[in-house]
Amino acid sequence: SQTIHQWPATLVQPVGSPLSLECTVEGTSNPNLYWYRQAAGRGLQLLFYSVGIGQISSEVPQNLSASRPQDRQFILSSKKLLLSDSGFYLCAWSWQGNWYTIYFGEGSWLTVV
Amino acid sequence: AQSVAQPEDQVNVAEGNPLTVKCTYSVSGNPYLFWYVQYPNRGLQFLLKYITGDNLVKGSYGFEAEFNKSQTSFHLKKPSALVSDSALYFCAVRPHTGGFKTIFGAGTRLFVKA
């Protein structure tokens, strides 16, 4: 079966510091990968998605970037965090063979102070 | 523009009563439709999906959803609510065109009172 791992679960970072959130998927190959942000416990905002290694599409211009160095690894980064980057970040994956059903990781709480 | 609407921010229901969480969509063609549940400080969990076929889809934890093409709706239902069903519910739609973008609704918070 497929599983998705996302870490760290929580982190508190000062303004101006770098960020790295990591996500890996097991049990599948060539998944589509996603980073979402959820503000105030409600709506989801798609930040980035990737259909293959090195292929990243950005949905919202912002202070963040994403990379996919390996088939099942997706990384969300920032060189200098802003207060507005605080939120709940969710990694997710989907696969054509399952009608692109999206499966989510457990999320990472980021607080920028 | 393609969109998903969850018209109720919050639904309140007594334990043991039936529950309905509403979802309507506006996309071209016949989309794939999904429901997810989110408990506090957790990721979204997949509940059920409609791809094709029978309009009534059964999913996890006793939930089901009914696809209505003429009303472009995909309401989530459960015959008898549990207090543990209290959570945030998201409807999602994936059009057959438009790349890899699944559209999520804004979410509906369900409160089940004992």
Gap from B108 CA to chain A (nearest CA, Å): 8
**Is the CB of residue B23 less than 8 Å from the CB of residue B6?**
yes
- Residues of chain B found within 8 Å of residue A104, distances taken between Cβ atoms: 36, 43-45
Separation CA A45–CA A6 (nearest Å)? 18
Tell me the per-residue pLDDT of A72-94, one tens digit each, with 9 for 90 and over: 999 999 999 999 999 999 999 99
Residue A70's nearest CA partner among A52, A82, A57 is A52
Paired tokens of B50: 């409609």
Report whether B108 contacts B21 (CB < 8 A): yes
Judged by phi (left if over 0) then psi (alpha if -120 to 50, else beta), residue A71 lies in alpha
Predicted local distance difference test score (pLDDT) of residue B101: 83
Give me the torsion for CA of B21, B45, B109, A76, rounded to 10°: -130
The token duo for A11 is 């982190």
Per-residue pLDDT, B39: 95
Collapsed DSSP state (helix, strand, coil) of residue B83:
helix
What percentage of chain B's residues is helix, strand, coil (to nearest 5)? 5, 50, 45
Nearest chain A residue (CA) to B4: A43
pLDDT average per 10 residues of sequence, chain B (114 residues): 93 98 91 95 95 93 96 97 97 79 94 97
Residues of chain A with Cβ-Cβ distance to B45 below 8 Å are: 104
- Is the pLDDT reported for residue A62 higher than 70? yes
Candidates B6, B30, B38, partner chain A, best to mutate (most A CBs within 10 A):
B38
Range A43-55 average pLDDT: 93
Query: Which is nearest to A97 in space by CA: B65, B44, B51?
Result: B51
Largest CA distance in chain B: 44
For A20-33, the pLDDT digits (tens) are 999 999 999 999 99
| CB within 8 Å: B42 and A106 | yes
Task: Nearest chain B residue to A33 by CA: give it.
Answer: B100
